[in-house]
């Protein structure tokens, strides 16, 4: 498997007809560069498809995911063009769950 150290998601949707070169160009435009072992996630306007571009240091991988029903949880009211996601947020996103509710683990204490 490909080792992924960081996950990034673009706020603006992308045209799902875009090929690898177009998506790679969008990664450079939005994120500044395509870093090795980073995954860059884009959704379409209807949020029923997403594309993930991953660089592994040797080449580029482009994956597409489409939901048969429903849609991926969209980014709402986020300032900027990108956000960083945790591994658990990506897992939730890929199955269509509300990934925004997942954050850094919190600690419960007794007063």
Predicted structure pTM score = 0.82
Digits of tens for pLDDT over the chain (111 positions)? Answer: 788 999 999 988 999 999 999 999 999 999 999 999 999 999 999 889 999 999 988 999 999 999 888 888 766 656 678 888 888 888 888 887 777 666 655 556 676
Query: 12-20 long-range CB contacts below 8 Å, 24 or more apart?
Result: 12/81, 13/42, 13/43, 13/44, 13/45, 13/47, 14/42, 14/43, 14/44, 14/51, 15/44, 16/44, 16/49, 16/51, 16/64, 18/51, 19/62, 20/53, 20/60, 20/62
d(C-alpha 33, C-alpha 8), whole Å: 12
């Amino acid at each position: 498997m490909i080792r992924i150290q960081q996950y990034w998601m673009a706020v603006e949707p992308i045209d799902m007809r875009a090929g690898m070169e177009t998506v790679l160009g969008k990664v450079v435009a939005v994120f500044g560069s395509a870093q090795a072992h980073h995954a860059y996630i884009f959704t379409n306007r209807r949020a029923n498809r997403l594309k993930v571009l991953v660089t592994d240091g040797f080449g580029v991988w482009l994956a597409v995911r489409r939901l048969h029903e429903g849609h991926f949880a969209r980014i709402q009211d986020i300032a900027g063009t990108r956000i960083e996601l945790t591994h658990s947020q990506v897992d939730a996103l890929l199955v269509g769950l509300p990934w925004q509710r997942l954050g850094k683990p919190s600690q419960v204490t007794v007063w």
